[in-house]
């Protein structure tokens, strides 16, 4: 059993009133709150260490480098990467996907194929459309059914030598659906030589990740959704896969030698880390991993699953409430609408008046909204510090919204 009060005490932001009511923060899918240990690590970096990393001869620069490389090792362990140089610091999931979509450009020819899924965030759609525009490749989208479950059988006939990359999320941010990434990776390996990129933005806070077991080529996530500061993120790349790619950004840090005639590139991971990194943020990301491991990922997952089941059971008692992908295997979030209430933000505004923070709208996943023929949903998303009492408040708040709007 988790001592939730003890965990909540580590998140000072939770202890406040919003609109005269205790804050109920259920917008963790957009960004989670940060524990004191992360805030203190960040503050300590800026008050005692702050210096640019790598190549510095002076003590602070060396200290900053050591601390940041220690954070890289924590990430390596967190995702079970084989080598620490397979861990690349980015500013978030979006940058990680754009990096790969750009860095594989030279490997893509006209009429090659790129496969994504119906359940993607815009950041896993647009970079591939841009790649298709640059190269003449075609984008194919794994369809889903009305339960939000991907119809992955299409891959049996789609995957072939033309397929260059399959990119999809492990958990959909809009519906919370857990996708069968292992099965998709196995099919891809069997039927093609394509790369596989996993968008773990919504899974890294909730599930234990193991990139070696998963056997993906690339995996990306954002620190800010897993208790770390904004502007931090990770791109994991299998060594052999990263070595097939061209660099993304050119600049300092990523070169071995530079002259006007010719530049040679640095080894991994620095080849993909041009410019000054977010040193304090990256070190604090290491502290966020320490926080998660100290609570225990398995406990976090269990607790959030209980919250989700509890919320689902009680929300469904409200007549006229529809949960999207209700029958799918889900984690982290519940997406719903009230019958007769066309604008999800109206519900969000009424909840906000009661101190309850949820996200409303299209969740950067407009194709999913188009599939269900809706403008948006109300999404409640969970973190380790949420409580059953908070879910009760959400349910009461939704009932109130229904009385006012329907
Ligand atoms: N993919 C998914 C599944 C997401 O949930 C998000 C964030 N909502 C992103 C990508 C983009 O993440 P970021 O804005 O942190 O780059």
Q: Looking at residues 287-313, what average pLDDT do you find? A: 97
Q: Which residue pairs, CB below 8 angstroms and at least 24 apart, start in 290-297? A: 290/37, 290/74, 291/10, 291/35, 291/37, 291/38, 291/227, 292/78, 292/205, 292/226, 292/227, 293/78, 295/2, 295/7, 295/384, 297/207, 297/208
- Residue at 315 is within a domain: yes
Ligand 1 centre distance from Cα of residue 93 (Å): 6
Nearest CA to ligand 1 atom 8: 30
Work out which ligand 1 atom sits closest to the CA atom of 123.
10
Rounded to the nearest angstrom, the distance between the alpha carbon of 167 and the centre of ligand 1 is: 14
Beta bridge partners of 235: 88, 220
Atom of ligand 1 nearest to the CA of 224: 15
| Same domain assignment for residues 283 and 265 | yes
Q: What is the pLDDT of residue 98?
A: 98
Is residue 169 within 6 Å of ligand 1 at its C-beta? yes
Mutation to probe ligand 1, out of 364, 366, 367 (largest number of atoms < 8 A from CB): 364
Q: How far apart are CA 402 and CA 406, in angstroms?
A: 5
Ligand 1 atom having least distance to the Cα of 94: 16
Ligand 1 near 206 CB (within 6 A):
no
Kindly state whether residues 300 and 286 are assigned to the same domain.
no
Nearest-angstrom CA–CA distance, 36 and 259: 46
Span 66-72, average pLDDT: 98
* Pocket flag, ligand 1, residue 204 (CB < 6 Å): no
- Is the predicted pLDDT of residue 238 greater than 90, yes or no? yes
Residue from 116, 202, 209, 382 to probe ligand 1 pocket by mutation (most atoms less than 8 Å from CB): 202
Dist. CA 379 → ligand 1 center (Å): 15
> Could you give the number of structural domains in the chain?
2
Atom of ligand 1 nearest to the CA of 230: 15
Helical H runs in 159-247?
181-191, 211-214, 239-242
Q: Is residue 33 part of a domain?
A: no
Beta carbon of 358 within 6 Å of any ligand 1 atom: no
Regarding the beta carbon of 222 and ligand 1, being less than 6 Å apart is answered yes
- Whether 406 has a pLDDT exceeding 80, the answer reads no
Full domain range(s) for residue 219: 39-293
Same domain, 202 and 277: yes
Instruction: Confirm or reject: Cβ of 377 under 6 Å from ligand 1.
Output: no
Atom index in ligand 1 nearest the CA of residue 95 equals 16
* 282 within a domain of the structure (yes/no): yes
Q: Choose which residue among 91, 123, 179 to substitute to test ligand 1 binding: the one with the highest number of ligand atoms within 8 A of its C-beta.
A: 123
pLDDT band per the 50, 70, 90 thresholds, residue 2: confident
The tens digit of pLDDT for each residue in 183-203 reads 999 999 999 999 999 999 999
Mean pLDDT value of segment 258-286: 97
Q: In whole angstroms, give the CA distance from residue 307 to residue 405.
A: 26
One domain for residues 330 and 304: yes
Return the pLDDT at 68.
98
- Considering the domain boundaries, does residue 269 fall inside one? yes
Q: How many helices and strands, by DSSP H and E, does the chain display?
A: 14, 17
Give the confidence band of 342 by pLDDT, cuts at 50, 70, 90.
confident
Nearest to 201 by CA among 29, 388, 18: 29
Q: Locate 61 and state its tokens.
A: 């620069």
Q: Which listed residue (132, 216, 258, 364) is catalytic?
A: 364
- Do 159 and 245 lie in one domain? The reply is yes
Mean pLDDT of 17-24: 98
Q: What is the pLDDT of residues 132-169, one digit of tens each?
A: 999 999 999 999 999 999 999 999 999 999 999 999 99
Q: Are residues 91 and 223 in the same domain?
A: yes
Residues 188 and 316 in one domain: no
Q: Return the CATH number at 366.
A: 3.90.1150.10
Pair (118, 259) in one structural domain: yes
Q: What is the pLDDT of residue 347?
A: 96
* Pair 254, 361 in one domain: no
Q: Is any atom of ligand 1 closer than 6 Å to the C-beta of 121?
A: yes
Q: How confident is the model at residue 70 (pLDDT cuts 50, 70, 90)?
A: very high
Assess if residue 34 is contained within a domain: no
The CATH number covering residue 130 comes to: 3.40.640.10
pLDDT of residue 1: 75
What's the mean pLDDT when you consider all of the chain? 97
Residue 205 exposure: Cα atoms within 13 Å on the Cβ side: 32
Per-residue pLDDT tens digits for 82-103: 999 999 999 999 999 999 999 9
The percentage of residues in the chain with a pLDDT greater than 90, rounded to a whole number, is 98
- Are 58 and 14 members of one domain? no
258 is annotated as an active-site residue: no
- C-alpha 94 – ligand 1 centre gap (Å): 6
Structure-token pair, residue 2:
């988790």
pTM of model > 0.80: yes
- CA–CA separation, 69 and 234 (whole Å): 13
- Quick: pLDDT tens for 29-60: 999 999 999 999 999 999 999 999 987 899 99
Same domain membership, residue 182 and residue 284: yes
Give ∠ CA 79-84-85 in degrees, rounded to 5: 120
Q: How many A from CA of 123 to the centre of ligand 1?
A: 7
Q: What percent of the chain has pLDDT over 70?
A: 100
**Cα 364 to ligand 1 centre (Å):** 9
Domain membership flag for residue 21: yes
Mean pLDDT of 273-283: 97
Expressed in angstroms and rounded, the spacing between residue 31 Cα and the centre of ligand 1 is: 9
Note whether 74 and 126 are same-domain residues.
Answer: yes
């Amino acid at each position: 059993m988790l001592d939730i009060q003890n965990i909540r005490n580590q998140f000072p932001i939770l202890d406040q009133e919003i609109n005269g009511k205790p804050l109920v923060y259920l917008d963790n899918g957009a960004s989670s709150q940060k524990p004191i240990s992360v805030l203190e690590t960040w503050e300590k970096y800026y008050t005692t260490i702050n210096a640019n990393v790598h190549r510095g001869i002076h003590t602070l620069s060396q200290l900053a480098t050591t601390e940041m490389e220690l954070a890289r090792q924590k990430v390596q362990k967190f995702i079970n990467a084989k080598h620490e140089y397979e861990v690349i610091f980015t500013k978030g999931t979006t940058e990680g996907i754009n990096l790969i979509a750009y860095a594989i450009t030279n490997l893509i020819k006209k009429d090659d194929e790129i496969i994504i899924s119906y359940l993607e965030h815009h950041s896993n759609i647009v970079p591939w459309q841009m790649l298709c525009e640059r190269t003449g490749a075609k984008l194919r989208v794994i369809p889903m059914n009305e339960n939000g479950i991907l119809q992955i059988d299409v891959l049996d006939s789609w995957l072939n030598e033309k397929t260059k990359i399959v990119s999809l999320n492990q958990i959909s941010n809009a519906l919370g659906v857990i996708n069968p990434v292992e099965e998709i990776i196995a099919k891809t390996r069997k039927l093609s030589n394509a790369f596989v990129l996993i968008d773990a933005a919504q899974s890294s806070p909730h599930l234990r990740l193991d990139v070696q077991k998963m056997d993906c080529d690339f995996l990306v996530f954002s620190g800010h959704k897993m208790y770390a500061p904004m502007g931090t993120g990770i791109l994991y790349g299998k060594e052999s896969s990263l070595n097939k790619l061209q660099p993304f950004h050119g600049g300092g840090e990523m070169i071995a030698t530079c002259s006007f005639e010719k530049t040679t590139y640095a080894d991994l991971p620095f080849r993909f880390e041009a410019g000054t990194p977010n040193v304090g943020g990256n070190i604090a990301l290491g502290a966020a991993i320490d926080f998660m491991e100290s609570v225990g990922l398995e406990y976090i997952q269990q607790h959030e699953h209980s919250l989700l089941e509890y919320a689902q059971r009680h929300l469904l008692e409200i007549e006229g409430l529809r949960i999207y992908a209700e029958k799918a295997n889900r984690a982290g979030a519940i997406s719903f609408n009230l019958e007769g209430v066309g604008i999800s933000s109206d519900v969000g505004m009424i909840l906000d008046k009661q101190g309850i923070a949820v996200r409303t709208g299209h969740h950067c996943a407009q194709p999913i909204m188009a599939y269900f023929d809706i403008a948006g949903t109300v999404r409640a998303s969970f973190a380790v510090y949420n409580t059953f009492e908070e879910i009760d408040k959400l349910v009461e708040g939704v009932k109130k919204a229904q009385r006012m709007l329907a």
